[in-house]
Amino acid sequence: MTERKPPGVSFESWVDKQIREAEARGEFTELAGAGRPLPAVTDAPYDELWWIKRKMAREGLSVLPPTLALRKEAEDALAAAAAAPSEGAVRRIVEAVNAKIREVMFKPPPGPPLGLKPYDVEEIVRDWRERRET
């Protein structure tokens, strides 16, 4: 629909004509979602980003504030350290996450406080050794 509304024609009748012609050409057949009910309307307030949130949920994406993402990364690092094949690997994993924690501690990013301090590498290595011995 690239043509302009002709002067002297009411907007409503011009739009109705455009729709009627498009229907006649079959432009409304086989549209995505045809025959399915509309999404339920909730009592939630209007959110301008509703479509982005729905797309992210459909794609399985999530965006965390940097500090929360680092907390998750620190948990994953501890789990990876516990399953590491060697003491050297444990040290590398913990030292890498400690560097990120220190960086956030000294220049806090936006979002909730981190609430973490660097891990004691020797303590984690000692725990790793103890789990290996049993």
| pLDDT single digits (tens) 2-44 | 577 777 777 667 788 888 889 899 888 888 887 888 777 667 7
Instruction: Check residue 123 and give its pLDDT.
Output: 94
What is the mean predicted confidence (pLDDT) over 110-131? Answer: 89
What is the mean predicted confidence (pLDDT) over 65-83? Answer: 91
Instruction: Check residue 2 and give its pLDDT.
Output: 59
Instruction: Check residue 11 and give its pLDDT.
Output: 67
Point out the least confidently predicted range of 22-31, 40-49, 87-96: 40-49
Task: Please say whether the beta carbons of 101 and 85 come within 8 A.
Answer: no
Dihedral angle computed from the Cα positions of residues 95, 96, 97 and 100, in that order, rounded to the nearest 10 degrees = 110
Rounded CA-CA distance 3/18 in Å is 10
Point out the least confidently predicted range of 3-7, 79-83, 122-126, 127-131: 3-7
Place 67 in a pLDDT band, splitting at 50, 70 and 90: confident
Instruction: Report DSSP letters for 56-92, one per residue.
Output: HHHHT-----HHHHHHHHHHHHHHHHHT-SSHHHHHH
